[in-house]
Structure 1
Amino acid sequence: MTTSAHKFSEEEQAGVYKAIYQRRDMRHFIKQPVDAAVLDKLLHAAHAAPSVGMMQPWRFIRITDPELRIALHQLVEQERVQTAKALGEREQEFMRLKVEGMLECGELLVAGLMDRREEYQFGRRTLPEMDLASVACAIQNIWLAARAEGLGVGWVSLFEPQAVATLLAMPEGSKPVAILCVGHVDHFYDEPMLQQEGWINAGDIDNVLMENQWDSASAEQSHQRKRSS
């Protein structure tokens, strides 16, 4: 077997994979502060993420005002109700799910896209959405670093972007992408919460892995799984 001279030690590799596979989208938090030094480490991990053309389009707003946290929560609650209505026959089932932990988590962050992104063309001329992909990489870095520190992270996307942007005085052209709940937890879910609650089951790698060309059969199996959940 060919190995790379640059690989981590087995112990270091195990830590990386453990963080990946034990990361969970958390919705249940303990009302306990996050150590400032640990939060700083998480934000620096986010800022070390890859980004198209090195544009680093991520912007993070730390919410420390309790009234502002409540206002954000109210915006999320409004969208939760609208999402439930849009789900039709699954409305009541959805309303029983705990979809965020904004009032309990130790830290609340809003991750957004910078303004004036159109000035950056490197890697974005035909794929302008690569700036969003870059922000997602930064969020994933926070998630994995937090898991390594024993903290949970929950990604909340139930909000109307313009309402959040207005509330946070974000400049024209910027856009909120995620509300991130960060904090201490009693335990990490054994499996993804939505799967644990019977909302949907995770798919198999074989249904998303293709070779040389698009495999319609695999794609259809993935669609069928989502429709039947």
Structure 2
Amino acid sequence: MKFTSEDIETLEQIILARRDVRGNRFINSPVSQKDIDKILFAGVNAPSVGFSQPWEFVVIKDLDIRNKIKESFFEENEKAKQLFKEKRADAYTQLKLEGIIESALNIAVFYKPSKHPILGQTTMKEAGVYSVVCAIQNMWLMARALGVGLGWVSILDPNKIKTILKAPKDRKLIGYLCLGHVDKFYENPELERLQWEKRKNINDIVIKESY
């Protein structure tokens, strides 16, 4: 299969338009099962080390479960606040960092370790986890192409989430995602807009041959 210059341009636009969506952007509108299936399809067709496909996806719509997840967020968020000082501490308290309840659904993405050696993972054990991250990126891009917002919530206690979701002991939580339709997508990342961080220059981070 060959792709046209228009295809390449569209892919670039989707990559540049991808956003980490917060709870204040979600609207009360369900995501169709067709769109959910497309997003999951994108995830399961991500690259994986040794074609191990070490991912599992827990789709959560139940509000009781999501409220329990949000309690974990509140607990961890209070701890996180203590790490930022002065102006950043004030700015942190103003940020809306999740959309667990506001979104239409949540998806918890887990890494399932293999019981036998995996090609390509014998030396770099973490390559399996990286594969799951690739699945999440695929989902993020497909969601954006469908006009569905996706936010990755990382201020959570993985073990508490595993307990709430009754996950097997060997599973590892990699990403907790909030998905839903939004009132708008920002033209540039929210944390860039708020000047939390500045965008890095590509010439400062691409190194030729060696350090």
The match for 1:24 is 19
Partner SS for 1:117: coil
**Alignment match, 2:99:** 101
- CA distances 1:28-49 after superposition (whole Å, capped 9, x unpaired): 2112100011110110111000
| Match in the other structure for 1:137 | 134
Equivalent residue runs for 1:214-225 within 5 Å: 214=211
Cα RMSD (Å) of the superposition? 1.3
SS at match of 1:112: strand
Counterpart residue number, 1:218 = none
**Corresponding residue for 2:146?**
149
SS in structure 2 at match of 1:41: helix
Counterpart of 2:4, as a letter, is S
- TM-score, structure 1 length as denominator? 0.87
Count, aligned residues: 208
The residue identity in structure 1 corresponding to 2:136 is I
- Deviation of the 1:191 alpha carbon: 0.9
Instruction: Name 2:119's counterpart in structure 1.
Output: 122
- Give a deviation string over 1:60-87, Cα, whole Å, max 9, x none: 1011211001111111121111111122
Q: CA deviation at 1:11?
A: 2.2
Counterpart in the other structure of 1:59? 56
Q: Structure 2, unaligned stretches of length 5 or more?
A: none
1:112 paired residue among 107, 110, 113: 110
Contact 1:55/1:120 (<8 A) preserved? no
Asked whether the 8 Å contact 2:63–2:101 carries over to 1, the reply is no
**Structure 1 residue 206 and structure 2 residue 203: aligned?**
yes
What is the aligned partner in structure 1 of residue 4 from structure 2? 9
Q: TM-score, normalised by structure 2?
A: 0.94
Aligned to 1:219: none
SS at match of 1:144: helix
Q: Offset at 1:91?
A: 2.5
Shifted more, 117-126 versus 138-147: the winner is 117-126
- 1:107-139 per-residue CA deviation (whole Å, 9 max, x = no partner) reads 21111111x435233111111111111011100
What amino acid is aligned across from residue 145 of structure 2 in structure 1?
A: A
**Counterpart for residue 226 of structure 1:** none
Matched, 1:73 2:70: yes
**For residue 9 of structure 2, what is the amino acid of its counterpart?**
A
2:45 — aligned with what? 48
Counterpart CA distance in 1 for 2:72 and 2:188 is 28
**Structure showing greater Rg:** 1
State the one-letter code of the partner of 2:109. Answer: A
